[in-house]
Structure 1
């Protein structure tokens, strides 16, 4: 399964965010106080997010920015604050409402926008119901999920089973961190600057060392922010896999081999880090990302890649492959 119909030609940005105004309150149990508009600016509780509300909520604004950025297609998903993880059993209505509005919104953009929906990670039956609906929705390619849910990542339990359902239905999976708080990260924006890469790294390790891709060879899964710290740790993981029974018990392939089967976006903010990612990842699985409209976004996602030796046609082909589509 892939996106129904066709999409515009050009580079595909797989990492951008959209949330309709009607759902700014966020799912039940969310501790952040909901999102709200104040004079045209968007806030998370009382924290200013430093961009206009329309940049997150208005489809026409997002389409205009997509064209202005030189992109062919932008793949939009909910901001991580909207993941249904705090009271998932009470979030079915929110998840269904988001997914329906997402499908309605992207289907009217003439192939400029593609959607990634929401899903619960605590209940396989509930996840299967929503994933089955998403598989038939126009303009929707898959789901966006957090790296960690219910104290687990993707090597075990319900999160791993959800990946299995996604692979079965041919849905793409984008793994996006949530800025999980820790006391030592309560200043300098460390919850984002350190926390986000660490969350993503945890999920990458769980997938590699848990043998997920050995069980699910058709799974298309992408890790944002260049895979977090994973490219710099793949050698360490390989040493552990060769040296310790408890590390290689869950997988039959060395981590570096499975690493080349994962997709990664290019939001590294550093040409040297991008070069390291390209050294370890498969070149046909590196995807353009922007993180629009957040303040940590790559402001010129296409220019950054072209200036650092990447090819627009290859990036377009990679994006289409991640979405489950044939090359243009």
Structure 2
């Protein structure tokens, strides 16, 4: 099978609520040049393609891309970490129920991840327990930081304990709704900011001792791991030379096998390097569908690389099954 592990959804129930003006979502739908857009109060806007929420549109695109199955993950603007804890927990439940509804329409094609209210880690744990019990969802997508707080902060310990004990795969995805300081021009908020956020998140889990404390935790990183896999030697150098970086049990490169990386590097040589560094059993097919910084045909990059059939099978099927199915 060919499975896309990085494939976004905005559940139809969420779209319907935004259309009706539900203030909790802090967004509205506008029409520009005959295309609907979701415009968030903080300023972030993106086209509201029907393929976000319409199962027929998704299935048609899967057929066009020769994909057999996908793992649905909420679009990052759906995190809502900036809301109060109670509202955040309510929105996470709504989004997860909507994702589960799409999965239920064709569970042979759709698997899924949950979202949780990380501004209240204890509520996040309860939601993990709920989706595992009710829907058998075994993966959760969270931001690479939580409103500027890095993932090694002590308040997130109960969440990681639950992921470790319940066997949840953790998918780290950068998110932003408004602008980022110093990255206003040229879409640098995404082009530079997102890979940087991912590297910072991976480093926080390593140097902050999170991976030492929770040995069963599996972590998938978006966008080829950002800058992290390509600067792992620099992490090692810091560990060797700087006292303030000698905070994990082993040198940072020894933790590479705790991470999984999607294929979204957009360059064959970059993807070939990633597979050589991390191993094909730690690289998974990803599209970032349907955002413009993703691809509708993620297999094109994989087949353009000098990979054996065995490596391609691991990337498109076996590695993904070890995480989600």
Per the normalisation by structure 2, the TM-score is: 0.88
- Alpha carbons of structure 1 residues 27 and 322: separation in structure 2 relative to 1, 3 Å: farther
Q: Distance in 2 between matches of 1:27 and 1:226?
A: 35
Pick aligned residue for 1:199 from 183, 197, 200? 197
Bigger helix fraction: 2
Cα deviation 1:221-253 (Å, max 9, x = unaligned): 10000010112211111000011121112x111
Contact kept in structure 2, 1:114 and 1:141, CA below 8 Å: no
- Given the alignment, which residue of 64, 69, 77 partners 2:60? 64
Change in 2 beyond 3 A, CA 1:177/1:28: farther
Higher RCO (CA-CA < 8 Å; seq separation 6+): 1
| 2:267–2:301 contact (8 Å) kept in structure 1 | no
1:125 is paired with a residue of what secondary structure? Answer: helix
Gaps of 5+ in 1: 1-9
Cα RMSD (Å): 2.2
Which of the numbers 272, 281, 285 marks the counterpart of 1:284? 281
Aligned residues: 311
Change (3 A) 1:85 1:279: same
Q: Measure the CA separation in 1 of the matches of 2:171 and 2:239.
A: 26
- Name the residue aligned to 1:73: 69
Alignment equivalent of 1:255, drawn from 252, 257, 263: 252
Render the CA deviation track for 1:32-56: whole Å, top value 9, x for unaligned: x515253553333476634x53111
**Cα distance in 2 for residues equivalent to 1:268 and 1:182:** 22
Check the 8 A contact 1:103/1:137 in 2, yes or no: no
Q: Give deviations 1:141-172, integer Å, cap 9, x for gaps.
A: 32110000143222222334312211211111
The verdict on how the C-alpha distance between 1:35 and 1:190 changes in structure 2, with shifts beyond 3 A counting, is farther
Pair 188,255 (structure 1): closer, same or farther in 2 beyond 3 Å: same
Q: Which runs of 5+ in 2 are unaligned?
A: none
1:95 equivalenced with 2:125 (yes/no): no
Residue of structure 1 equivalent to 2:9:
18
- Structure 1 position 54 matched with structure 2 position 50: yes
**Which residue of 1 is the match for residue 125 of structure 2?**
128
Q: CA deviation at 1:173?
A: 1.3
Q: 2 CA distance for matches of 1:170 and 1:88?
A: 28
Partner of 2:291: 294
